[in-house]
Amino acid sequence: MNEQLKFLIELQDLDSSIMSMVENIDVIPRKLDQFKSPLQEANEKFQKAKIKLDALNKKKKVKDMQLDEIQDKIAKLKSKSSGIKTNKEYEAHLKEIQGFEKNISMIEDDILIIMEEIETYEKDLKEEQVKVRKAEDAFNQQEKVLGEEQKKLQAELETEKAKRKDFVLRIDKGIYTQYINLLKRFGDKAVVETRNEICLGCNTNIPPQLFNDIKKNDNLYSCFFCKRFLYFKESPSSDNHDREAHPSS
């Protein structure tokens, strides 16, 4: 096989390997995102439960303050009982105390309801906290695994890049420039097989004589339509056919 053609094929294989590694490295953050979403969701639920619990505790604190104020008013009213002189004044005084005591009963009922809600949300908060920790553990474990995978791929990538630099030095500059331009144009392959008088890059027919020349792999040939470099790869079926057509004596 022509040396430059051989180098081009090997370089393309190397470039394909490099591109595959780059793609695998680029996809790692997206893999990690799959574990980030459950963590974010768990944190959001935990924060919602915490906000609700904080609001209930504040509400209870307000009710406790109201209760203290009313109890203080009742105590002050009762301390004045000895100074009341008439039955009418005493009845009015007693009625005022009873009104405050009724308010105390209502506030105590409210506090009881709030305390039940607090108990429920404290339980929910603990459950959500467990879920957050599990999600964090899963995320941290996956982050470690993917981080190690990324380091390994990066090291392999640097090795392949160094190998590529040595490879490029073996290829004629003009041929290499043509190769790079073809890669930029097509984005995949600059060197393609020919089979059954067809360019496998663009599926264009190749003249029989040119196809016969390409089959020798002793020179550089390009497709007249897509301009890719062409080469011929002997298939096992064609080898068998040749052996059947030319049996050994």
Architecture (CATH level 2) of domain 11-169: Orthogonal Bundle (1.10)
**Cα angle: 236, vertex 240, 243; to 5 degrees:** 140
For position 52, what pLDDT does the model report? Answer: 93
3-state helix, strand, coil in the chain (%, to 5): 80, 5, 15
Select the more confidently predicted residue: 85 or 190. Answer: 190
What number of residues does the chain have?
A: 249
Q: How far is it, in rounded angstroms, from Cα 154 to Cα 133?
A: 31
| 188-203: average pLDDT | 94
For position 173, what pLDDT does the model report? Answer: 95
- Is 90 exceeded by the pLDDT of residue 176? yes
For position 97, what pLDDT does the model report? Answer: 78
For position 237, what pLDDT does the model report? Answer: 53
- E strand or H helix at 59, and its extent? helix 3-79
**Do 189 and 201 touch, CB atoms closer than 8 A?**
yes
pLDDT digits (tens, 9 = 90+) for 157-174: 999 999 999 889 999 999
For position 92, what pLDDT does the model report? Answer: 82
pTM: 0.61
Q: What is the percentage of the chain residues whose pLDDT exceeds 70?
A: 94
Please provide the average confidence, as pLDDT, over all residues in the chain.
88
Report the range out of 74-83, 88-97, 177-186 with the highest average pLDDT: 177-186
For position 242, what pLDDT does the model report? Answer: 43
Query: How is the chain split into domains, by residue range?
Result: 11-169, 173-245
In 3D space, the residue among 43, 60, 216, 220 whose CA is nearest the CA of residue 128 turns out to be 43
For position 236, what pLDDT does the model report? Answer: 57
Largest Cα separation within the chain, whole Å, is 144
Select the more confidently predicted residue: 239 or 155. Answer: 155
pLDDT digits (tens, 9 = 90+) for 51-92: 999 999 999 999 999 999 988 888 888 887 777 778 888 788
| Residue 245 pLDDT level (bands cut at 50, 70, 90) | very low
For position 238, what pLDDT does the model report? Answer: 47
**Do 197 and 205 touch, CB atoms closer than 8 A?**
yes
| Residue 100 pLDDT level (bands cut at 50, 70, 90) | confident
